[in-house]
């Protein structure tokens, strides 16, 4: 049974109580501002607040896009402590890593999205050509030579993780684990090493979390008298839920404050 260690209430409270939109943000910006210093050098605290505020919306939009893509077998959630760290789990369903349940973290740079690509680091050793055997970091440079915030998104990184486990031989050209790359021609030996990685991932599945973060994804062993009723509820077909309200993040983008105009005030802004 997979679950998060806690309910994410941070986004609910901060968006509904901590900030109320009053017209357009552009009305409070002084003339002659720029992206690096919107409120002038004399207002460093205000500049810092705005950058953090904007970054949170970018990351919120990225997470929304991940959800809309519905990437099978991959689960991620931003840390409660820092939205720059995401916890993830990848279930591999076919190929040499079949039945593997691999935990990983996604690390975003402090300047995200104006930075290099995110880093993906697995928690356990994974014998794979594009996973560094020392750091367990995925080599994303072949898939994302240049990270362009207008074109690359976190959901694409997750799709790449799926692809690299299903198409191992195609990753040989940008291998960072030379031993894994060389063993690709010895199918039996390579598959044996993959199975070792799978076994290790499953042995660590129920270990105590390495952090107190309430969004860390934890697993419980299946207990019939606890989980049978939950399983039955999950398997029941659910009625479609009508959407309500408006999002300040436009679908398919990470631009904040893109609510559709609903009044003369919004249209003027």
134 vs 112: CA distance, rounded Å: 25
Q: What does the pLDDT read at residue 148?
A: 86
Looking at residue 251, the DSSP 8-state letter turns out to be T
Q: Which residues of the chain have pLDDT under 50?
A: 5-33, 265-269
Token match 């009723």: residue? 229
Q: What does the pLDDT read at residue 33?
A: 47
Q: What does the pLDDT read at residue 28?
A: 42
Strand ranges for 52-134 from DSSP E = 74-78, 85-91, 101-107, 119-122
Q: What does the pLDDT read at residue 107?
A: 97
Cis peptide before 210 (omega within 30 of 0): no
Q: Where are the alpha helices (DSSP H) in the chain?
A: 10-16, 44-69, 154-166, 178-183, 187-203, 224-235, 264-268
Q: What does the pLDDT read at residue 142?
A: 86
12 vs 232: CA distance, rounded Å: 29
218 vs 89: CA distance, rounded Å: 10
Domains of the chain and any CATH numbers: 1-6+44-223 (3.10.110.10)
**Among the listed residues 130, 128, 140, the one whose alpha carbon sits nearest the alpha carbon of residue 198:** 128
Predicted model pTM? 0.70
Q: What does the pLDDT read at residue 220?
A: 87
Q: What does the pLDDT read at residue 260?
A: 56
10 Å Cβ neighbour count for 99? 13
Q: What does the pLDDT read at residue 6?
A: 44
Q: What does the pLDDT read at residue 38?
A: 53
Q: What does the pLDDT read at residue 70?
A: 87
**Among the listed residues 3, 2, 1, 46, the one whose alpha carbon sits nearest the alpha carbon of residue 25:** 46
Share of the chain above pLDDT 70, in %: 71
Structure tokens at 68: 């809309």
């Amino acid at each position: 049974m997979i679950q998060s260690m806690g309910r994410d209430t941070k986004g609910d409270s901060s968006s509904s109580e901590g900030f109320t939109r009053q017209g357009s943000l552009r009305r409070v910006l002084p003339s002659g501002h720029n992206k690096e210093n919107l409120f002038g050098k004399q207002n460093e605290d205000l500049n810092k607040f705005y950058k953090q505020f904007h970054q949170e919306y970018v990351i919120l939009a990225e997470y929304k896009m991940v959800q809309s893509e519905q990437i099978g077998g991959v689960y991620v959630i931003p840390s409660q402590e820092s939205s720059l760290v995401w916890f993830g789990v990848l279930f591999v369903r076919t190929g040499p890593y079949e039945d593997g349940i691999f935990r990983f973290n996604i690390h975003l740079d402090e300047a995200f999205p104006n930075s290099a690509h995110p880093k993906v680091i697995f928690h356990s050793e994974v014998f794979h050509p594009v996973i560094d055997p020392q750091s367990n970091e995925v080599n994303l440079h072949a898939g994302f030579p240049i990270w362009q915030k207008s074109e690359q998104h976190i959901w694409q990184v997750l799709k790449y993780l799926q692809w690299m486990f299903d198409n191992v031989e195609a990753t040989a050209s940008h291998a960072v684990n030379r031993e894994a790359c060389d063993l690709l021609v010895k199918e039996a030996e390579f598959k044996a090493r993959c199975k070792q990685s799978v076994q290790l991932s499953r042995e660590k599945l129920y270990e105590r979390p390495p952090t107190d973060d309430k969004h860390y994804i934890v697993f419980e062993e299946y207990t019939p008298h606890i989980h049978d009723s939950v399983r039955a509820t999950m398997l029941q077909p659910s009625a479609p839920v009508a959407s309500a309200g408006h999002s300040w993040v436009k679908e398919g983008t990470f631009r904040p404050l893109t609510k559709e105009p609903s009044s003369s005030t919004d249209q003027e802004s």
